[in-house]
Amino acid sequence: MAAKSEDVLGQKLDTCLADATMKVGAGLAIGAVASLFLFKRKAWPITFGAGAGVGMSYSDCDRELNSPNFIHVSKLKKAE
C-alpha cells in the first residue's frame, strides 16, 4: 500500500527538524569551545557556529523537499 503524501511530508519535516537540532547544537558547541579557548570569550564564534548550523540544515531540508526523486548511488544496481 502506498504511503499518503501528508505522511511522507511529515516524515521529511521530522527528519529536517532533527537534523536542524543536531547541526545548530553542534555549531553552538563548537563555537563555545572556540570562544573559550581561541577568541578570549567573545560572543561572535558562538553566533557564527549557530548560524552555520542553521544554514547547513536549511540547505539539507531544501534539497530533501525539492528533489523527491533523488536516488542515492549506493541503492543503484548494476544492469546486466
What pLDDT, in 10s, does the model give residues 24-55?
A: 999 999 999 999 999 888 899 999 999 999 99
Provide the whole-model pTM: 0.73
Rounded to whole angstroms, the Cα distance separating 77 from 80 reads: 9
Residues contacting 47, CB < 8 A, separation 6+: 31
Q: How far apart are the first and last CA of the chain?
A: 30
Q: Is 75's pLDDT higher than 60?
A: yes
DSSP designation for 41: T
Orientation of helix 44-66 relative to helix 5-37, angle to 10°: 160
In the chain, where the domains are located: 16-63
